[in-house]
Structure 1
Amino acid sequence: MSSLKVAASWPLSSRLVCAGLLGALMAVVVYVAWLGRLAETLQAAQAEEARLRVAHQLAQAKAGRLPALRAGQRQAAATLARLEQQLPRQQEMADLLSSINQAGLARGLHFVLFKPGPAIPATLPSHYVALPIAVQLRGGYHAIGAFAADLARLPRIVTVHELALVAGSDGVLTLDAVLHAYRLPDAAELAAQTKLLPVKTQPMPVPRVVAPALDYDAADLPDPFGAAVQAVTATQNAVAAPDLKRPREALESLALSEMTMVGSVRHEGRLSALLQAGGRVHVVAVGQHLGHDHGLVTEISEQGLRYREVLQDANGAWRARRGGIEVQAGKVVKPIIAEAQP
């Protein structure tokens, strides 16, 4: 057997054959190594293909839901716009506070405390500013329940928080609560919110479904605080019921808040008021009716007119209250004293 040490002395043909065999061996080694790397690349490509197929299927599923998602987005935008319509602006908050006060007075409740607090700034992603109002009022159980239902039916959003109901020694209930009235932020508040907006876009929140306001229909149920409260409420400020069969007059179709006294006129020694309401000026004399609650004009002067209303509370009792419309202010004077006699 020839030794590799004397390979240089081999015949040329032997050397060529040995070189060919060595080259073939090296080619096989290189091919096997390249083939292994190629197999790894192929496996990685196959895994990527499987991942892309799954992603493609998910994208197709999302694309199929796109019409429903767009419809949901439109519905959310419409719901947000509708809710924003229930939010007054800052200059309209006085009317909202007056409506809350009127709702309590209309139910025969007496306000011991009505104190608006400082506004709570809007926090992102909120679109409103909350105004807390500390209230304390006294009255009957069912009258308080009806008042809460009236708050829910207001055209503006008002919520009740920290509610506490206590029966006093005189049989009258005392309600302590914090009402939250909501309004749109003004320009300065919007600018402050814009500075605090995050760079990353936040997804639109899904609007919460709010149950519609319902009428208070529990007046026939027993009062959990006892019959004494009912007796006090039923007899307090009681007056005779109005004539419900009486033909309604023209101004009884309009709310008192829509009326403004613009002057007065004297004819045959009798002074009549000039009320602007419903887009026209009405001549009103003593004894005429106006407003939704059987309002009766009792006195007219050059400074304004006085009226008397008769309302029915949650317990079915009729009671009277007085108010007026002044020429100088051009606004309704809120009733603050209930009549004890018709």
Structure 2
Amino acid sequence: MKYLSGWLEQYYTALTIELEIDGTLELTPELLENILGEEFIDGTYTLYLQAIDEHNLASDIIEFEFTFSEIDLPGPEVLSLAAIYGLDTYPDAITLPNTGTRQLSVTVDGLVDSPELTIDIGDISYTVADENVLSVSDEGLVTATGVGETTVTVEYGEASATIPVLVDEPEMGAATVDENGGVVEGSDGSLVMLAPGALTEETSVNITPLQQQDLSLPVPEGFEFATAFNLEIEDDKLDIPAQLAIPAPEGIETGTEVFFLRKGALPDETGTWNDIWLQEESGVVDADGFIRTTSPPYPGVVRPGEYMVMSGQGGSATKPQRSANSDN
């Protein structure tokens, strides 16, 4: 960061400062003395802030006045960074059943610890191409209002992103889904929602519930079994993670975080492959009694297989990276 004091026009101080995760910066007396070059005394000050990243890309200079306290990073600063880097929306594409909802996440692309713009900043707008298909709240909650295809354009200052959305009637049991996406419903009411672009060709998709005794691996230490299912995807891998809605068992409170583990395999020190649970997704129990997947920071559900949904802090399951899905 570079700061320019308001009362010495040619006085610059170059500082490297790590912001808090919520985008705030605490101006301590020591920091202000470094900025101002003299002993800090209580009062009101005007500072000029400019952010320069590791690639030497600079934001606009932002002027702000403060009385010594913890201050929020000004909205215009984040606006400038969004204009440079663009927006990162999640999901990139959405499919919903005709009564479904989905919360959007919007951050600054590539910015470590970017604030969640739908919550922390405001001044973000959503434009729906066909309002007969869905609506979007000020907080980024997408709600289906009809059936069809449309787009949601997210705008924040000069930055924008467009998200394709399909709202479709669920198909029961094994169903054929193509590159346009679709919704498949299991016998227990579970939903597999495949966004436009998740598949490259027509593919058979199915989801069937499993009981704990049906699992081929024991429950990992540190987890508590919630539910399980088998996901069948004939194409073997999705280009966009599936969004799932799974009935929650009785006794799990609304708001509880859960984890989705897929049966996979990893080699040991001798090169022998061993079956293991891979932690690939997280989810939250919603008020309607369904567990819905949330993905970041996890890679999401992109492969077929045997899945177990667990509550707890996690134990011996392996956590794949979001950017590199395991092939097993």
Which range, TM-score by smaller chain? under 0.3
Bigger Rg, which one? 1
TM superposition score normalised by structure 2: 0.27
The higher relative CO (CA closer than 8 Å, separation ≥ 6) is in 1
TM superposition score normalised by structure 1: 0.26
Greater strand share, 1 or 2? Answer: 2
